[in-house]
A = this chain, B = another copy of it.
Amino acid sequence: MRVVSDANLPIGVFDSGMGGLTVLAALQRQLPTEDFIYLGDTARLPYGTKSAETVVRYARQAAGALVQRGIKALVVACNTASATALDALAQEFAPLSVFGVVEPGAAAACAVADASGVTVLATESTIAGGAYQRALLRGQPTLRVLGRPCPLWVTLAEQGSVASTLSDAILLVGVSGITRSPVSATSPSTLLLGCTHFPVFRDALQRLLGDGVRVIDSAQTAASTVAAALTEHGLASAHGGKTVFLATDGVARFQRVGAVFMGGSLDSLANVELVDI
């Protein structure tokens, strides 16, 4: 790991919008004495339907805005940007440590998967790009891997519709034919939630699919990876605990939708600074 040397700097976290707040929340829980600076590129969300070139360009601008403010590590809390732009960011901002969510999520899924394999649920561009599928196969070359785009889930999560008859129906259509239960006994029993929005559906999916299906998200394991790396390199802080929020558009919507991903509390999102990047 290549790092800059000031443990007192915040950890920078960026996402195309509010979904990355699920990763921030996991980081805050695991690293309660760290400062964070979160940037949501809400003016240009979603990244998930855009081309790789455009995602790389946007990710470099977003990361650059955080680096300019001073950070000791960068977490790309956006699956699409993690899948597409991580190498470009690590190269551009070296020696800063850059962490994504794809590798930790894939590692966690590999660790629990059985012979039935893993289904990755994500945005159109994350699935089409194949980064999760490749990361899973690097971890376990004989694994059965299926990718399934779930664009409706993104909109559903942003509406805060986490538990309703309609959201259940949309969730079930998303996993139809690719889960062990109720459709097929030969389908993968591990679901990897490859989009930052999807952890909000974790409980509903478990309820709908039963205990025979394991639901994995990247936020927890990504946070553990960052925590371990900071400790290893003597960059952990014991004095922080503040988070600064930046958004490139629509502060009111950021707060309202963001509360869904932060677990319902608007208080922590009271101050969001509008920035142009």
How many interface residues does chain A have, given as a range? 20 to 34
Given A151-B159, A152-B152, A152-B159, A249 and B51 contact (CB-CB distance below 8 Å): yes
The stretch from A30-38, A165-173, A182-190, A263-271 touching chain B is A165-173
Nearest residue (CB) in B for A124 is B253
Q: Are B170 and A166 in contact (CB under 8 A)?
A: yes
Say yes or no: is A5 at the interface (Cβ < 8 Å to chain B).
no
Nearest residue (CB) in B for A156 is B152
Say yes or no: is A233 at the interface (Cβ < 8 Å to chain B).
no
* Chain A interface main SS type: helix
Task: Name A155's contact: one of B43, B154, B173, B250 (CB within 8 Å).
Answer: B154
Q: Which residues of chain B come closer than 8 Å to A173, judged between CB atoms? A: 166
Nearest residue (CB) in B for A154 is B155
Q: Are A50 and B169 in contact (CB under 8 A)?
A: no
A158 CA to B49 CA in the complex, in Å? 11
Say yes or no: is A242 at the interface (Cβ < 8 Å to chain B).
no
- Residues on A lying within 8 angstroms of B by beta carbon are 42-45, 49-51, 54, 124, 151-152, 154-156, 158-159, 166, 169-170, 173, 249-250, 253
Beyond A43-B44, A49-B158, A50-B249, list 8 extra A-B contacts (CB 8 Å).
Answer: A44-B44, A45-B49, A50-B250, A51-B249, A51-B250, A151-B159, A152-B159, A169-B169
23 residue pairs A–B, Cβ–Cβ below 8 Å: A42-B50, A43-B44, A43-B50, A43-B54, A45-B49, A49-B158, A49-B253, A50-B249, A50-B250, A51-B249, A51-B250, A54-B249, A54-B250, A124-B253, A151-B155, A151-B158, A151-B159, A152-B155, A152-B156, A154-B155, A155-B155, A166-B173, A170-B170
